[in-house]
Amino acid sequence: MEKFTRAFGRLKKAYRRFKEVVENPFLPEIFSEEFLIEITTKRFEYTYEALWKTVKEFLRLKCVFKRKQKEVDLKHILRGLECNSPKSCFKEAFKEGLISEEYEDTFFYMILLRNRLAHVYDEEMAREIYLKLKEEKFLKAIESVIKNLENEEV
């Protein structure tokens, strides 16, 4: 439980910092677009990493709890333990109701954006991703998972 608590704390902090840079209307007046692109995409990456790792830990704890309560079959336990990538964790989170149907596509689009940032960096692509990240749906999708995690019992 302690590992989840630490991971969840990191997620909330990363999300606040990402939200701060996305929503602050005064930053373009202070900083160059190049700097804003760099800081926004970097904060997105931090938030994304914290998000999937928090979800992974939550799902692991949930499987352990269900196993103790004998409410789960072996297939479900194994599926929870196989959550070793963002894609598999987000799929499991959707099945568990942490990700609502409304945001399912957004999470898989986040995987694509994160992979583009990590593996193919060019300035024009980074600018396009920056503009995408400023869309409200990314913040709302992440915030919905945070709220769902706060309301869950493990």
Domain ranges for the chain = 2-151
Over residues 24-74, the pLDDT tens digits come to: 999 999 999 999 999 999 999 999 999 999 999 999 888 765 555 555 555
Angle subtended by helix axes 123-133 and 104-119, to nearest 10: 160
Q: Which superfamily does CATH assign the domain made up of 2-151 to?
A: Nucleotidyltransferases  domain 2 (1.20.120.330)
pLDDT value at residue 78: 46
Over residues 71-106, the pLDDT tens digits come to: 555 555 544 456 889 999 999 999 989 999 999 999
